[in-house]
Structure 1
Amino acid sequence: MVLGPAEVQLPCADLAPTLAFFTGELGFRVETIFPADDPQVAVISGHGLRLRLAPGAGDPGIIRLAAEPRPNPAVVTAPNGTRIEFVEPDPPVEVPPLEPEFVLTRQADSPDAGAGRAGMLYRDLIPSRLGGRFIASHIAIPDGGPVADWVHFHKVRFQMIFCRRGWARLVYEDQGPPFLMQAGDCVLQPPRIRHRVLESSPGFEVVEIGCPALHETLADHEMELPTAAPRPDRDFGGQRFLHSVAAETPWTPLGATGFEVRESGMAKATKGLADVRVIRPAHTRGLEVPPHIGEFFFGFVLEGAVTLEHEGAQALQAADAFVIPAGEAWRLSGASGDLELLEVMLPAGAVAGLKH
Structure 2
Amino acid sequence: MTAPRPASSLRIVLGCADLDAALAFYTEELDFRLDMIMPADAPRMAALSGYGLTLVLRRVAAVAHPGDTGREAASMSANRDVVAATDWVVGRAGMQYRDLIPGRWEGRIIASHIRIPQGGPVPDYVHYHRVGFQMIFCRRGWVRVVYEDQGPPFVMQEGDCVLQPPTIRHRVLEASPGLEVVEVGCPAEHETWRDHALTLPTPQRRPQRLFDGQRFVRAVAADAPWRIASPSASHCMHRDTGIAQATDGVADVRILRASSGSACRAPTAMPEGGARFVFVLRGRLGIHGADGGMQELRTDEACLRVLAQADTFEALDTDAEWLDVCLSPRALAS
Instruction: State whether TM-score is above 0.5.
Output: yes
Does the 8 Å CA contact 1:102/1:322 hold for their aligned counterparts? no
Residue 49 of structure 2 corresponds to which residue in structure 1?
Answer: none
Residue 282 of structure 2 corresponds to which residue in structure 1?
Answer: 303
Residue 93 of structure 2 corresponds to which residue in structure 1?
Answer: 118
Residue 83 of structure 2 corresponds to which residue in structure 1?
Answer: 105
Residue 262 of structure 1 corresponds to which residue in structure 2?
Answer: 239
Say if 2:150 is the partner of 1:171.
no
Residue 326 of structure 1 corresponds to which residue in structure 2?
Answer: 307
CA deviations on 1:245-291 (whole Å, 9 max, x unpaired) are: 00000000112311000000001111111110011111541416556
Cα 1:239–1:330 shift into 2, 3 Å: same
CA distance in 2 between partners of 1:305 and 1:325 (Å): 21
CA distance in 1 between partners of 2:223 and 2:239 (Å): 10
Question: One-letter code of the match for 1:159?
Answer: Q
Residue 103 of structure 2 corresponds to which residue in structure 1?
Answer: 128
- What displacement does 1:347 show? 2.9
Does the 8 Å CA contact 2:160/2:219 hold for their aligned counterparts? yes
Residue 276 of structure 1 corresponds to which residue in structure 2?
Answer: 253
Cα 1:4–1:316 shift into 2, 3 Å: closer
Does the 8 Å CA contact 2:230/2:267 hold for their aligned counterparts? no
- What displacement does 1:333 show? 3.7
Say if 2:327 is the partner of 1:346.
yes
**SS of the residue 1:131 aligns to:** helix
**Higher normalized contact order (CA 8 Å, seq sep 6+, divided by chain length):** 2
Residue 126 of structure 2 corresponds to which residue in structure 1?
Answer: 151
Per the normalisation by structure 1, the TM-score is 0.68
Question: One-letter code of the match for 2:117?
Answer: P
**Gap runs ≥5 in structure 1:** 7-44, 53-97, 351-356
Question: One-letter code of the match for 2:284?
Answer: A
Structure 1 stretches of 4+ moved >6 Å: none
Question: Which of the pair has more CA radius of gyration?
Answer: 1
CA distance in 1 between partners of 2:104 and 2:317 (Å): 30
Cα 1:5–1:333 shift into 2, 3 Å: closer
CA deviations on 1:115-155 (whole Å, 9 max, x unpaired) are: 11111111111111111111111111111100010000001
**Gap runs ≥5 in structure 2:** 13-74
**SS of the residue 2:145 aligns to:** strand
Residue 190 of structure 1 corresponds to which residue in structure 2?
Answer: 165
Cα 1:332–1:218 shift into 2, 3 Å: same
Does the 8 Å CA contact 1:144/1:199 hold for their aligned counterparts? yes
CA deviations on 1:131-186 (whole Å, 9 max, x unpaired) are: 11111111111111000100000011000001111110000000000001111111
What is the percentage of aligned positions where both structures have the same residue?
Answer: 49
**SS of the residue 2:222 aligns to:** helix
**SS of the residue 1:324 aligns to:** strand
Per the normalisation by structure 2, the TM-score is 0.73
CA distance in 2 between partners of 1:173 and 1:288 (Å): 36
Residue 70 of structure 2 corresponds to which residue in structure 1?
Answer: none
- RMSD of the alignment, in Å? 2.5
